[in-house]
């Protein structure tokens, strides 16, 4: 009947390229607690974007396409 759009954060799960090569990719993982590896919130920063900037960009995209966020 229609399409459903969903969005999640890239999550640097242990064992993935993002996790194993974080330093050389310019990624800083914010928490190593398994509770924080869920793709529902930002768990990393990049050399160019802070946690707040990543969250703000995701919220802006969600607003543009009419997704709920929180």
The 10s digit of each residue's pLDDT in 18-69 is 999 999 999 999 999 999 998 888 999 999 999 999 999 989 988 888 776 6
What is the reported pLDDT for 68?
A: 66
What is the reported pLDDT for 21?
A: 97
pTM above 0.85, yes or no: no
Domain around 22 = 17-65
**1: confidence class by pLDDT, cuts 50, 70, 90:** low
Is the predicted pLDDT of residue 70 greater than 60, yes or no?
Answer: no
Structural domain includes residue 32: yes
Structural domain includes residue 8: no
The whole-angstrom separation of Cα 54 and Cα 49 is 6
Please tell me the total count of domains within the chain: 1
Beta strands in the chain (DSSP E): 27-29, 44-46
The whole-angstrom separation of Cα 12 and Cα 37 is 8
């Amino acid at each position: 009947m229609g399409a459903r759009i969903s969005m999640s954060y890239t999550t640097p799960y242990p064992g993935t390229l993002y996790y194993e090569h974080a330093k050389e990719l310019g990624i800083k993982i914010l928490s190593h607690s398994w509770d924080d590896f869920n793709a529902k919130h930002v768990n990393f920063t990049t050399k160019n974007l802070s946690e707040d900037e990543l969250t703000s960009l995701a919220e802006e995209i969600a607003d543009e396409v009419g997704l709920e966020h929180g």
